[in-house]
Amino acid sequence: MENESKELLAKTEKSKVRFEELTNLISCPEIIADNKEWKKLVKERNSLEPIAQAHERLKKELSDLDKSENDLKNETDSEMRALFESEIENLKNEVDKTVEEIKILLLPKDENDDSNAIVEIRAAAGGEESALFGMELCRMYSHYAEKKHWKVEYIDMNQTELGGIKEATLMIKGKGAYARMKFESGVHRVQRVPETESQGRIHTSTVTVAVLPEVEDIDIDIQDKDLRIDVFHSGGAGGQNVNKVETAIRITYLPLNIVVTCQDERSQLKNKEKAMNILKSKIYDYYEEQRNSQLEANRKQQVGRGNRNERIRTYNYPQGRVTDHRTNLSSYDLEGVLNGNIDPFIDAMILKTQTDLLNVTE
């Protein structure tokens, strides 16, 4: 472990030096004057800060360990030797912890992890029951965002007469929202007795969830001739967003047939701005998939076609159980999960992802 810790110390030295360089740069008046460049450098500095801090911590722990081992060699008093031995053991444990932390920090990062998350929820197999559960997932993510002190904006919602949703688009705003929400992508399966079921039979329905990062400041050339923009009345079951003025916006990107709808705001201009931001993220996501065939394969596995056998999680109402099939983690607090207590499932997926990456890099 000693050789490994020294190798990691050397490997992280460049990151520590660059972190200190960036700390000085972002204080320069000429950099501050260029807002775009300043934001870029601040983002890079923030990404390096955990590695720089871990580097300094490991450096101090190794120095303290070396000093204690030398003191032990020169000590003859039995009581003092026992104290040094205990201190050395504690320091070795601290070094081990820091080494494991640095290994994880050095794993490949998703450059979009700090981004806001665009969450698309669609009813799949199961008709109205699927639509009703889709609405429950909307509430679950809203509760989760509230617990994280993130902001939720409902960009679009196509509701059914019974209060379900055919599809909905949410924007979850907060640092690191995408880093956690991306693990919610996939097919969510629900098993329960619908209120409309007179025989008391358990039905199985599915809802698909797709999570995209909100991508800012990307160079995508969108020509006006490639867009079809439709304006219509906002509306929905219950009349919550019904507006007699045409403010809702539907934008179709003709080359890829990507359609984005926004009726969240009462201003046509604001709806258009939001719709364009989501469109950029969708176009970015499309070309990212084209550039990386593995990402494309992963996305197909995540979202699939909404069939019952392409699931990531099952919500079993009769047993009060929620099971994540990727990690085999189960919770018997169904009500708590639907109230936004989904961190255990996300934490388990993060751990699984880190473990898989460590196995590949070692």
- Over residues 18-31, the mean pLDDT reads 90
Encode pLDDT of 303-313 as tens digits. 444 443 468 99
Delimit the CATH 1.20.58 region(s) of the chain.
Answer: 2-105
d(CA 16, CA 53): 8
Encode pLDDT of 98-123 as tens digits. 988 888 888 877 778 888 899 999 99
Evaluate if residue 294 carries a pLDDT over 60: no
Which stretches within 148-248 are classed as H helix? 177-181
Delimit the CATH 3.30.70.1660 region(s) of the chain.
Answer: 117-354
Encode pLDDT of 131-144 as tens digits. 999 999 999 999 99
Confidence of residue 196 (pLDDT cuts 50, 70, 90): low
Confidence of residue 73 (pLDDT cuts 50, 70, 90): confident
Evaluate if residue 296 carries a pLDDT over 50: no
pLDDT for position 321: 94
| Total length of the chain | 362
Strands (E) across the chain are located at 117-123, 151-159, 165-173, 186-192, 203-213, 227-233, 246-253, 258-262, 313-316, 321-324, 329-331
Domain 117-354 architecture: 2-Layer Sandwich (3.30)
- Over residues 256-266, the mean pLDDT reads 79
**What is the rounded average pLDDT for all residues in the chain?**
83
- Which is higher by pLDDT, 262 or 180? 180
Which stretches within 106-237 are classed as H helix? 127-147, 177-181
Asked if 222 and 132 count as a contact pair (C-beta separation under 8 A), the reply is no
DSSP string of 280-292, one letter each residue: HHHHHHHHHHHH-
Evaluate if residue 19 carries a pLDDT over 60: yes
- Which is higher by pLDDT, 186 or 75? 186
pLDDT for position 113: 83
pLDDT for position 52: 92
pTM of this structure: 0.70
End-to-end CA distance of the chain: 14
Pick the CATH number of 2-105 from 1.20.58, 1.10.3470, 3.30.110, 2.60.40: 1.20.58
pLDDT for position 218: 62
Evaluate if residue 55 carries a pLDDT over 90: yes
The percentage of the chain sitting over the pLDDT mark of 70, rounded to a whole number, equals 85
**Where is 271: in which H helix or E strand?**
helix 268-291
Evaluate if residue 169 carries a pLDDT over 80: yes
d(CA 306, CA 310): 7
Asked if 207 and 134 count as a contact pair (C-beta separation under 8 A), the reply is yes
Evaluate if residue 259 carries a pLDDT over 90: no
- Over residues 246-274, the mean pLDDT reads 80
Encode pLDDT of 220-244 as tens digits. 677 778 888 888 766 554 344 444 5
pLDDT for position 141: 95
Evaluate if residue 207 carries a pLDDT over 90: yes
Return the closest-CA partner of residue 121 out of 93, 142, 147. 142
> Could you give the dihedral angle defined by the CA atoms of residues 334, 338, 340 and 341, in that order, rounded to the nearest 10 degrees?
10
pLDDT for position 361: 57
Confidence of residue 265 (pLDDT cuts 50, 70, 90): low
